[in-house]
């Protein structure tokens, strides 16, 4: 089949894009874009051996030199931003600005990681023994498997890979079967950075394309000390026990069921703008998408009316069109799941505004975002549906609102809109939100790379991106140096011979 001009611009060839068994389909119109060759499971031992060999060399490269590779990657991403962003749109269905924003996120984490390469610091610790000093040192951990989801097909890889590389670890990347093209295009960008770098070991970053059997081979291997997996809670339940059984480490970024509390003092115009972006951006297919709106009873009817008006005006269609704000769901199965969830919500007493299927582009799975006024937090509300559905519930007291927010299995992102300082601080306190992300007067979606990203409970407890998330990619050693001419023991123990 002929090569899509966009993919050719990204450096992909006919040999890479045709003749394989994995179809790459655009959610925009259901078009078959490529037929990709899958990695055979029998190749995995060789891939693991190459990664281990790369680790032996890369761990001894000074960290600032490792950071130079990531700096070059950032430069190449800047040059490729428009084309790579367009591939994100083609394959994930994101509107153009979101596709470009995802590549910008890659650039930003490269900048962060370059600085980090000179800041992999440990502590100096006071010793109780005279003439002794204690300290911590951090060392590379080993090959890191990065398993990514379709909805952020390249940004999450970059969060992990930029940090893993400066920490001294090789990377094996398994993208979602629904978004392999963006992975291939990204590897073409990385290969240009590697060529400029000059002396990186072979097998430093490898790509495997295929299904769950490949993921299973990576998570089961003791040659992969760290697995970073992004996806559903169902997937995490499979990954975590297998990694733990062999005493490996896992960074899990799983489901989210994110809520916003709207208090009586909230700036409603600001809240409406935040709600609409958070709930319908990426067609509701972000792990941080707003799924539950908990509104003070005095505001509820008016806010639902404002939102219904705003939703009715949303341009839905081809995400490449400049005015489009809502693109397609990833496939028909996602659309079917959305309709099933809305049917269950109606059965549980909900009143649905919107949610109907839209014939925006032939072959694509498009739907109008839905607002569902619910009498209570029912079973369907407590279940994450990866679609633009916003459940609305009321509250009387802040304690009720916080309890309602926390009463779901997931714990990723949360927020409150209020002008009351006491309410804001209560929400952020130990008795407030139980999520990994808690915001005030900003939605739950659109996190910056400077903070550690991740959540609690069934979200998995992993942390990626900024702050001190880098520590998950390294091993810690506690060192004690005796520079005296005596050998005292700690805790006053005497053992004289």
Name 150's Cβ contacts closer than 8 Å, sequence gap at least 6: 91, 92, 176, 178, 179, 330
| 3-state secondary structure labels for all residues of 232-283 | CHHHHHHHHHHHHHCCCEEEEECCCCEEEEECCCCCHHHHHHHHHHHHHHHH
Residues in Cβ contact with 57 at an 8 Å cutoff, skipping those fewer than 6 apart: 201
Q: How far apart are CA 221 and CA 231, in angstroms?
A: 20
From the candidates 76, 102, 105, 253, which is the catalytic residue? 253
Least Cα distance to 414 among 434, 390, 393, 387 occurs for: 434
The candidate with the shortest Cα–Cα distance to 96, out of 108, 86, 104, 84, is: 86
**Residue 90 to residue 27: CA distance in whole angstroms:** 7
348 contacts 393 by C-beta, under 8 angstroms: no
SS3 at position 39: coil
Q: CA–CA distance from 450 to each of 21, 230, 356 (Å)?
A: 39, 19, 38
Does residue 253 carry a catalytic annotation? yes
- Is residue 357 within a helix (H) or strand (E), and if so which, with residue range? strand 357-358
Are 181 and 34 in contact, with CB atoms under 8 Å apart?
yes
CB proximity list for 479: less than 8 A, separation 6 or greater: 134, 135, 136, 137
Structure tokens at 129: 């023994």
User: What contacts 119, CB < 8 A, 6 or more positions away?
Assistant: none
Tokens 């910008």 — which residue? Answer: 104
Catalytic residue status for 415: no
Please state, in angstroms and as integers, the Cα–Cα distance from residue 462 to each residue in 36, 113, 342, following that order: 31, 18, 31
> Rounded CA gap, 285 and 279, in Å?
9
Catalytic-labelled residue, pool 10, 110, 167, 287: 287
Place of tokens 């890979």: 161
- Provide the annotated active-site residues: 253, 287
């Amino acid at each position: 089949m002929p090569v899509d001009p966009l993919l050719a611009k990204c450096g992909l060839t006919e040999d890479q894009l045709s003749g394989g068994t994995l179809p790459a389909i655009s959610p925009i119109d259901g078009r078959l874009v490529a037929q990709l060759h899958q990695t055979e499971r029998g190749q995995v031992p060789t891939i693991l051996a190459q990664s281990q060999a790369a680790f032996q060399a890369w761990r001894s490269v000074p960290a600032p030199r490792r950071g130079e590779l990531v700096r070059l990657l950032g430069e190449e991403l800047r040059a490729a931003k428009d084309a790579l962003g367009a591939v994100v749109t083609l394959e994930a269905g994101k509107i153009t600005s979101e596709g470009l924003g995802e590549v910008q996120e890659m650039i930003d984490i490269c900048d962060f990681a370059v600085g980090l390469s000179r800041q992999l610091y440990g502590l100096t610790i006071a010793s109780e023994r005279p003439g002794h000093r204690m300290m911590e040192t951090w060392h590379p951990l080993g090959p890191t498997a990065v398993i990514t989801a379709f909805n952020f097909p390249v940004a999450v890889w970059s969060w992990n890979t930029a940090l893993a590389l400066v920490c001294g670890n090789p990377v094996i990347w398994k993208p979602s079967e629904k978004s392999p093209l963006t992975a291939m295009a990204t590897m073409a960008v990385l290969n240009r950075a590697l060529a400029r770098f000059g002396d990186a070991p072979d097998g430093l970053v490898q790509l495997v394309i295929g299904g769950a059997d490949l993921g299973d081979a990576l998570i089961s291997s003791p040659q992969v000390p760290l697995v970073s997996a992004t996806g559903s809670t169902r997937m995490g339940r499979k990954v975590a026990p297998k990694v733990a059984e062999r005493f490996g480490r896992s960074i899990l970024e799983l489901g989210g069921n994110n809520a916003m509390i709207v208090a009586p003092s909230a700036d409603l115009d600001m809240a409406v703008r935040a709600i609409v972006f958070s709930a319908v951006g990426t067609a509701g297919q972000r792990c941080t998408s707003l799924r539950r709106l908990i509104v003070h009873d005095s505001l509820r009817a008016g806010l639902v009316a404002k939102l219904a008006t705003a939703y009715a005006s949303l341009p839905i269609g081809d995400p490449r069109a400049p005015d489009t704000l809502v693109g397609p769901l990833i496939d028909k199965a996602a659309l079917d799941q959305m309709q099933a969830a809305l049917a269950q919500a109606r059965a549980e007493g909900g009143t649905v505004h919107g949610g109907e299927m839209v014939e925006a582009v032939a072959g694509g799975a498009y739907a109008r975002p839905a607002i569902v006024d619910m009498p209570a937090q029912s079973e369907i509300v407590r279940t994450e549906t990866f679609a633009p559905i916003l459940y609305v519930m009321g509250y009387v007291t802040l304690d009720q609102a916080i309890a309602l927010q926390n009463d779901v299995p997931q714990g990723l992102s949360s927020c409150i809109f209020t002008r009351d300082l006491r309410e804001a601080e209560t929400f952020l306190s130990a008795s407030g939100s139980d999520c990994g992300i808690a915001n005030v007067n900003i939605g739950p979606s659109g996190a910056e790379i400077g903070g550690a990203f991740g959540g609690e409970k069934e979200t998995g407890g992993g942390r990626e991106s900024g702050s001190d998330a880098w520590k998950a990619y390294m091993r810690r050693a506690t060192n004690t140096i005796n520079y005296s001419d005596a050998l005292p023991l700690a805790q006053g123990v005497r053992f004289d011979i």
